Amino acid sequence: MLHIFWLPRFRYAAGAVWRRNVLVWRKFFTPSLLINFGEPFLYLLGLGYGLGLFIGEMMDMPYLTFLASGILASSAMNTASFEAMYSVYTRMVPQRTYDAIMATPLEVHDILAGEVLWSATKSLISGATILLVAAALGAVHSWQALWVLPVLFLTGLCFAGLGLIMTAFAQGYDFFNYYMTLVLTPMFILSGVFYPVSSLPDPLQVAVQILPLVHAVDLVRPLVAGQPVTNVLMHLSVLVVYSVASYAIAAVLIRRRLLI
């Protein structure tokens, strides 16, 4: 049964699934873009300006910039997680979309590869809109901030894979609450989105290094602030390892669930 460990085979097949989702997204273009713009706008305006007034600078940058870079990374996490859980579950179970697709030459791997690529694409879209909002508010300090986009895509791949693992076990939407409450929310609070990780107690500072969001934030923040990026290879490796491993595990689990 070695074939179950094959990595995604990206070809037209996965592309067809990706294009299906793009087409649905285009239908709800206006509302989804409004949400994409609206939420970060509120965060940046409310927290960035409001709190920023009291905080002033954090890690040698205006608090608005500090916060904007954290929100960029965490929204990539949320967007991909949401897509890989709620949307994938909807297509897999109530809508039976995958049953229909599995009657074509496509295989489970193609579907999952398409879904993971699409989840990461959504992270990219939401990241791009936040970057625009942040730039408009004067929080972006350098053109090197454009490098944030591929980083957010990778962050999306990573959290899409993790979300798919949850979906493989889900018997209903309520199941995702465990992961949201026990994993995503603590990660959001502890990964240096709102304050630097260095202000955590020492043992916790070490422990949070296993969280992928920490590494996404560490890559995004200096890019937005126009500062030099350190430990690039290490941060990227963590994200890549999470992406590949979570995808491989999810693929095994979902194959087992669908091919019965």
Partner 1 sequence: MKSVIEARGLTKYFDGRAAVRGIDLTIPAGRCFGVLGPNGAGKTTTLRMLLGVSPPTSGELKVFDLPITSAGREIRARMGVVPQLDNLDPDFTVAENLRIYGRYFGIAPVALNARIRELLAFVNLADRADSPIATLSGGMKRRLTIARALVNEPELVVLDEPTTGLDPQARHMIWGKLRELRAAGKTLLLTTHYMEEAERLCDELVIMDHGKILAQGSPKALVRAHVEPEVIEVRGDDARARALLSGIRDGRTEAVGDTCYFYTRDARAVVAGLEKSPEFTFLHRPANLEDVFLRLTGRDLRD
Residues near partner 1 (CB under 8 A) are 12-13, 16, 19-20, 23-24, 27, 95-97, 99-107, 258-260
Cβ count near 84 (within 10 Å): 30
Residue 22 or 234 having the CB closest to partner 1: 22
Q: Rg for the chain (alpha carbons), in Å?
A: 19
Closest CB 160 distance from partner 1, rounded Å: 19
CB of 31 to partner 1, least distance (A): 14
Pairing of β 57-58 and β 61-62: antiparallel
Report residue 145 CA to chain centroid gap.
18
Pinpoint the alpha helices (H) of 11-107.
12-27, 29-43, 50-55, 63-82, 88-92, 97-101
Q: How far is the CB of 144 from partner 1 (least distance, A)?
A: 38
Taking CA atoms, 57 is separated from 4, 60, 63, in Å, by 50, 6, 5
Instruction: Compare residues 105 and 138 and give the one whose CB is closer to partner 1.
Output: 105
Q: Which residue, 103 or 233, has its beta carbon nearer to partner 1?
A: 103
Q: How far is the CB of 159 from partner 1 (least distance, A)?
A: 23
- Based on CB atoms, which residue is closest to partner 1, 39 or 107? 107
Q: Token pair 């923040």 is at which residue? A: 221
- Contact status, residue 115 vs residue 25, Cβ threshold 8 Å: no
Which single residue is written with the structure tokens 């960029």?
Answer: 72
The DSSP bridge partners found for residue 61 are 58
Query: Minimum CB separation from partner 1 for residue 36, in Å?
Result: 19
Distance CA 58, CA 114 (A): 39
Which is closer to partner 1, CB of 87 or CB of 155?
87
In the complex, least distance from residue 118 CB atom to partner 1, rounded to whole angstroms: 13
Closest contact distance (angstroms) between CB of 260 and partner 1 is 6
When the beta carbons of 21 and 191 are compared against partner 1, the nearer one is: 21
Dihedral (CA of 246, 247, 250, 251) sign: negative
Cα–Cα separations (whole angstroms), residue 140 to 130, 152, 226:
11, 16, 8
Nearest CB to partner 1, comparing residues 244 and 258 = 258
